Amino acid sequence: MTTQGGNFGSSRVIALPGDRAESDVSEPREYCVSVNKMASSSGSKVGPGGRRDEDHDSDGDIGCCGYVLTGISLFLCVITFPLSLCMCIKIVQEYERAVIYRLGRLVSGGAKGPGMFFILPCIDEYKKVDLRTVSFDVPPQEVLTRDSVTVAVDAVVYYRVNDAVYSVNNVENAARSTQLLAATTLRNTLGTKALAEILSEREHISQLMQGALDEATDPWGIKVERVEVKDVRLPIQLQRAMAAEAEASREARAKVIAAEGEQKASRALKEAADIMVDSPAALQLRYLQTLNSISAEKNSTIIFPLPMDLLRGFMK
């Protein structure tokens, strides 16, 4: 017998012995059963995300004793009316939901609210769940990167309760569990990255963390909306080494730039000397321009011009 199927909403095909192979799609199947039809016949529904509504409807049969206690509670509410309204009527805000338990079992219909709802005293208890977005800081985590560098990294996580029933039933403390999981996910994610990647790819790392946290907290009814890496702290010795490396690199670039400037200047001086050799008057004009510059900058300096023709006799 061969079966094909998966989650709710898919179909299951049962091939009896003697049928043709599954690749022969031209022959009509006589034994096709839809899982949705089976679920509807059994009274269960498939909700968003593949979750069944019967997971939220767990009150079921409370037994004979439960029915007796419920009747007694209703009787007490009737005979103490209207004073019993103070204990039976509860109100939750627009951003809150109430998860009600009757004799320890979840009341059908899921979470109640917003607004006013009714409970039975003595046998019902409820828990409020806040649906607003909550943020918390992930404490600095000492992480050993892929290239064996120890860094301290902290982050901030934004999340909200997506399903109030799952956040109460499936985990003892959804907020605390999410914080611990965020710290672990931060260490595991950064441990696979090199230091250069951590410093330059923060947005990509944040997206990886958000996807991992969202997938892990989905059974708890938690939706992780955003994760941001706040700060990356390097050891003092590593900071000094990186600063020395950057300084050496800047000095090397400065020397190269200075050498290129000297090369261009010497080339320009050579071209100017070639021009002055062909024109003695140009050399004389340059000489006078130099005297003018010296007299303007340093007035205390006395210069006596000496013609070069007087020295030619001594040079011979």
pLDDT at 9 over 60: no
pLDDT at 25 over 90: no
pLDDT of residue 178: 92
**231 and 150, same domain (yes or no):** yes
- Choosing from 210, 238, 266, the residue where a domain stops is 238
- Choosing from 208, 238, 268, the residue where a domain stops is 238
**151 and 217, same domain (yes or no):** yes
Mind listing the pLDDT tens digit for each residue in 182-207? 999 999 988 888 888 888 888 898 99
**Euclidean distance between CA atoms 97 and 127, whole angstroms:** 8
Mind listing the pLDDT tens digit for each residue in 116-171? 888 888 888 889 999 999 999 998 888 888 888 888 898 999 999 999 999 998 99
Q: Which domain holds residue 36?
A: 11-51
**87 and 139, same domain (yes or no):** no
280-297 and 236-278 helices, crossing angle to 10°: 130
Q: Do 228 and 155 contact (CB within 8 A), yes or no?
A: yes
**155 and 200, same domain (yes or no):** yes
Mind listing the pLDDT tens digit for each residue in 61-115? 667 787 788 788 788 878 888 777 887 888 888 999 999 888 888 888 888 888 8
Indicate yes or no: pTM above 0.85.
no
pLDDT at 11 over 50: no
Instruction: State how many domains the chain has.
Output: 3
**147 and 219, same domain (yes or no):** yes
**Euclidean distance between CA atoms 308 and 84, whole angstroms:** 123
Highest mean pLDDT pick, 14-18, 52-56, 119-123, 217-221? 217-221
- Would you say residue 299 lies in a domain? no
- Would you say residue 315 lies in a domain? no
